[in-house]
Amino acid sequence: MAGSNPQSNSDRPLPRVAVIGGGIAGLSAALTLQDAGVDVVLIESSDRLGGKIRTERTGDYIIEAGPDSILSYKPAGLAMIERVGLMDRVINTREGGQGTSILHRGRLQPLPEGMTGLVPADVRSLSTTGLLSWRGKVRLALEYFLPASRKATDESVGGFVRRRLGDEFYRNLAEPLLSGIYAGDADQLSLLATFPRLREQERQYGGLVRSTLAQRRNAQGRSGSRKRSPFISLEGGLGDIIDGLAAALTGVDIRTGTPATAIHHTGNGYRIELGAGAPVDTDAVVLATPAWAAAGLLRRMAPQLSWELDAIPYVSTATITAAYDATAAGDMDVGRGFVIPRAERRMLTAVTASSSKFPGRAPAGALLIRGYAGRANDQESLDRSDDDLAAVFRRELAEITGLAAEPRFTRVYRWPRALPQYNLGHPGRMSRIEALSTEYPGLVLAGAAYRGVGIPDCIQDGAARARDVLDRLDIPGRVHA
């Protein structure tokens, strides 16, 4: 798909920028560059745009192959939805019914109220939870009296949670929730790279319980109702955002099914070698691929930078979705889904009841259930065939919920090396990557591997890196910030 580019009033040709990678970060970068009046070419190796955002529509079913929601409190997501004209299609999670649960000793226990992060908004809700023994609850209460650490060094998320909230809280609550976000090993994840706010809360208020109580006091007396649930989607699925972005990129030369194979520095610009066809010459490059793919493209031109990028670890994942007759579920009620700690020794890491989470995901009389597999230190689960993955999903779902019926259909989606891991040392590696990148003016790196893994984070990062490029280019009529 290609469109005509804006014409300049100057005799100077417009700068040309290549965006390599057609995921949400690359699309956000391309839109920012297009809006600034730059000549943009978008190069994507696969035959579709969107990266891990992929929605399959089968009859009246809406199936998310990758992520199924966006955090509403991060503004970049809603801002992009508004930019592509889809605000009237935003939907909240369903009201009422049971929320999210955690599998604990083979039984589903409700997640404590208000716990959307690692610390509940209402710490009192933990007093009645079945996820903690009385010893665990006492240990949690003692957090109020623990002094704050003043060490400047990084620590693992697992180490921080154990230090502040205790081993049992970490094992039964924090670890399964972390698996749902990063599919990572919390004892390796960097606190400063993943949850820096927790360190700030400890230092500002003296502890996490103190922080929660202070924020509750500050919130008292505020008026106004919340228009958005914490997680949102679109009526037609998240794929609508990709379709909206593709339609908005009228001035971008979009080349899908076109793998880039290498990048060369050519003095004042860059030459991008392609798997087929003539190379592309550009003034600047936004490299919005996974870090391991960027490392391959830069290996000859920037070997040290390539080495640092290749050192960012990734975890592979898979999603398995099955549709069931609602009558087969009986009185089963798993709410919007549940997460599964490592200690339960299951292949599945989480289950989402898609048709309960958002409206319009399945026709009347049907249930749509999705399972997640793959996490750090358990990649052998994904060595199974698609049929075996689906069979284990059905067996574990039956053992946990009692839903043993044969599904109407099943879909398996694999995501090799999908989730970057912000392990200990990630902030230092990012400093080195940014320093090494300055040796190549006009070359920037964007995407989930660097500054945030969520959809709003990637949207924001793609736009920010595009603005970095614009600040370096001589664009007729543009006033630099």
Q: Is the pLDDT of residue 111 over 90?
A: no
Q: Is the pLDDT of residue 89 over 70?
A: yes
Q: Is the pLDDT of residue 226 over 80?
A: no
If we measure between CA atoms, which residue out of 281, 280, 312 comes closest to residue 295?
A: 312
Question: How confident is the model at residue 212, as a pLDDT?
Answer: 81
The token duo for 353 is: 């009841």
The residue with tokens 């999210």 is 100
**163-201 pLDDT, tens per residue?**
999 999 999 998 888 877 888 899 999 999 999 999 999
Least confident of 212-221, 320-329, 437-446: 212-221
Question: How confident is the model at residue 335, as a pLDDT?
Answer: 78
Quote the CA–CA distance of 410 and 367 in Å, as a whole number: 12
**pLDDT band at 362; cut points 50, 70, 90:** very high
Q: Is the pLDDT of residue 15 over 70?
A: yes
Question: How confident is the model at residue 476, as a pLDDT?
Answer: 58
The token duo for 302 is: 């920037």
Q: Is the pTM of this model over 0.75?
A: yes
Q: Is the pLDDT of residue 13 over 80?
A: no
Q: Is the pLDDT of residue 478 over 60?
A: no
**pLDDT band at 92; cut points 50, 70, 90:** very high
At CB < 8 A and 24+ separation, what contacts does 70-75 make?
70/231, 70/232, 70/233, 70/238, 70/454, 70/455, 70/456, 71/230, 71/231, 71/454, 71/455, 71/456, 72/228, 72/229, 72/230, 72/231, 72/232, 73/230, 74/454, 74/456, 74/457, 74/460, 75/456
Q: Which amino acid is at 226?
A: R
SS3 62: strand
The token duo for 434 is: 């940014």
Q: Is the pLDDT of residue 343 over 60?
A: yes
> Percentage of the chain with pLDDT > 90?
74
The residue with tokens 């600034």 is 36
Residue 271 exposed, middle or buried by CB count within 10 Å (0-12, 13-18, 19+): middle
Question: How confident is the model at residue 6, as a pLDDT?
Answer: 47
**452-469 pLDDT, tens per residue?**
999 999 999 999 999 999
> Percentage of the chain with pLDDT > 70?
91
Q: Is the pLDDT of residue 474 over 90?
A: no
Question: How confident is the model at residue 328, as a pLDDT?
Answer: 83
Name the pairing type of β-strands 252-255 and 270-274.
unpaired
**pLDDT band at 275; cut points 50, 70, 90:** very high
**pLDDT band at 227; cut points 50, 70, 90:** confident
Neighbours of 238 (CB within 10 A): 26
Determine the average pLDDT of the residues in 419-428: 96
Say if residues 40 and 33 touch (Cβ distance below 8 Å). Answer: yes
Name the pairing type of β-strands 270-274 and 337-339.
unpaired
Determine the average pLDDT of the residues in 95-119: 79
Quote the CA–CA distance of 465 and 434 in Å, as a whole number: 12
Determine the average pLDDT of the residues in 263-278: 94
Question: How confident is the model at residue 116, as a pLDDT?
Answer: 57
Q: Is the pLDDT of residue 475 over 90?
A: no
Determine the average pLDDT of the residues in 36-62: 96
**381-418 pLDDT, tens per residue?**
899 999 999 999 999 999 999 999 999 999 999 999 99
Please give the mean pLDDT across all residues of the chain: 90
